[in-house]
Amino acid sequence: MTYTVLDKSSIPEYLNGLPKVVEVLGKGSSLDIEEIGDGNLNYVYKIRRSDSPDRSVVLKQAVPYLRMAGEDWPLSRNRMTYEIRALQAYNELVPEYVPAIYHSDEEMSVLVMKNLDEHTVVRHSMIRGIMFPDIGHDIGTFLADTLFKTSALGMGSIERRHLMDQFTLNDELCKLTEDFIFTFPFMEHDSNYSNPVTDEFARANLRCDTEYKLGILKFKDLFLTKTDALLHADLHTGSLMANSDETYVIDMEFAFFGPFGFDIGKIIANFLMCYTSHYYHSADDSYQSWLLDEAMNIWKRFEARFVELWGAQGESAMLVEGFLTEDELHEYKKRFMLNIFHDSLGFCACSLARRTLGIAGVADIRDIEDTEKRSRLEIINLELSRLLLSKHEEIDTIEQFESTLQDFYKNVNQSTLELEK
């Protein structure tokens, strides 16, 4: 269908022509359409059958400009093409962790999908101290299944190149990440967030530290040139919707083939920044303990599941029968997982700093109005970023990572950085 922008008046007729949507909503009844927006980029509508509101779908459409800024701020609607392709791939790979698709149309830049009405955005819930009992496990499973199954270990070479080919041209959003995650936060740049105390710390401790900056470039290089697997590429706690039973991953418009550690490091960084924010949000450390446990569970489950999938895998682009003995394969797996772990710690370090210094902060911290308290938390992020980047090749196990974090936070507690409520 040729591209037209849908609105409340044209949506009913559009949906009526889509058999799988009609299956969900039924036919003929009037529809209640609510524009909810995801804030910035796209139009998002919740659509319910008026006489039966539990029958509902979500419709998402990209427009060829930045929705929040208006038509004067052009932005290719290609982004929806990649969200559609990634969500289709994920519906094959991990159907239990992503919304079911009822309809997609690259020409129209439209997705119609399951309405996640009984789930909340994890970031907002975590700021409020809500616990999700399975979240670390779910994220770890999502990561293992998506990364393993799209890697050279989990696919044949030729089919893998064809999948990769669907994402190579997600160019604008890749460039956004290159600029706003791996570049601008680490230099003086107009786009950066500004807070004098935090800026001063960054200037004195990060932006003049050669090893730190060359470390950032190492990970920027991997982001630009390593095609390990299909990444979500924007996996933070705002891209998760969950309740006590289920976890869903959404908003995958940044998807492309990139390095293994990127999604893992980024989501763990978001748990750690939430941990830090609870020096402010919580009265005691019970929620922080839970957050740390779940952050560790992400890796533990990821590793166990990745190795499990590998064990069940036949030949792949990387390995054929008879190339390695059992002992050699065992050793290879050990080194392979260690390498992913080290890279994940490095990407975690990048993410901690960019969310602190760059344009896009985390609400967990940036929404705190008291500038002084906010600065203290921001400096914790930066200290942790520096620690992890400098040690990312020395921390070899999740237990060492956990004790490194515990030691780090113990020092935080004992220092002047502890916040009085």
Long-range contacts of 106-110 (CB under 8 A, 24+ apart): 106/80, 106/81, 107/1, 107/2, 107/3, 108/1, 108/2, 108/3, 108/4, 108/6, 108/61, 109/3, 109/61, 109/62, 109/63, 109/77, 109/80, 109/81, 110/6, 110/59, 110/60, 110/61, 110/80
Residue type, 377: L
Question: What is the nearest approach in angstroms of its own copies to the Cβ of residue 203?
Answer: 13
Return the range that interacts with its own copies (CB under 8 A); candidates 14-22, 187-195, 236-244, 290-298.
187-195
Question: What is the nearest approach in angstroms of its own copies to the Cβ of residue 259?
Answer: 9
Is residue 165 involved in binding its own copies (CB under 8 A)?
A: yes
Is residue 320 involved in binding its own copies (CB under 8 A)?
A: yes
| CA quadruple 184, 369, 195, 416: dihedral sign | negative
Question: What is the nearest approach in angstroms of its own copies to the Cβ of residue 164?
Answer: 6
Is residue 172 involved in binding its own copies (CB under 8 A)?
A: yes
Main-chain dihedrals φ then ψ at residue 360, nearest 5 degrees: -100, 100
**171 or 308: CB nearest its own copies:** 171
Nearest 5°: the CA angle 394, 399, 404 is 60
The binder of its own copies chosen from 22, 66, 130, 152 (CB under 8 A): 152
**86 or 127: CB nearest its own copies:** 86
| CA quadruple 160, 162, 166, 170: dihedral sign | positive
Is residue 338 involved in binding its own copies (CB under 8 A)?
A: no
- Region at 2 (left for phi over 0; alpha for psi -120 to 50; beta for the rest): beta
Q: At what angle do helices 135-149 and 78-93 cross, to 10 degrees?
A: 100
Give the number of residues in contact with its own copies, rule: CB under 8 A. Answer: 42
Question: What is the nearest approach in angstroms of its own copies to the Cβ of residue 256?
Answer: 9
Site for its own copies in 341-360 (CB under 8 A): none
Return the range that interacts with its own copies (CB under 8 A); candidates 151-159, 241-249, 274-282, 297-305.
151-159
**55 or 213: CB nearest its own copies:** 213
Is residue 69 involved in binding its own copies (CB under 8 A)?
A: no
Between strands 240-242 and 256-258, the pairing is unpaired
**136 or 185: CB nearest its own copies:** 185
Question: What is the nearest approach in angstroms of its own copies to the Cβ of residue 159?
Answer: 9
Binding mask 196-235 for its own copies (x = CB under 8 A): --------------x--xx--x--xx--xxxxx-------
CA distance 76 to 162: 23
**Closest to 121 in 3D by CA, of 3, 237, 285, 276:** 237
Q: Which residues bind its own copies (CB under 8 A)?
A: 152, 157-158, 161-162, 164-165, 168-172, 174-175, 178, 183, 186-189, 210, 213-214, 217, 220-221, 224-228, 317-318, 320, 322-324, 327-328, 331-332, 335
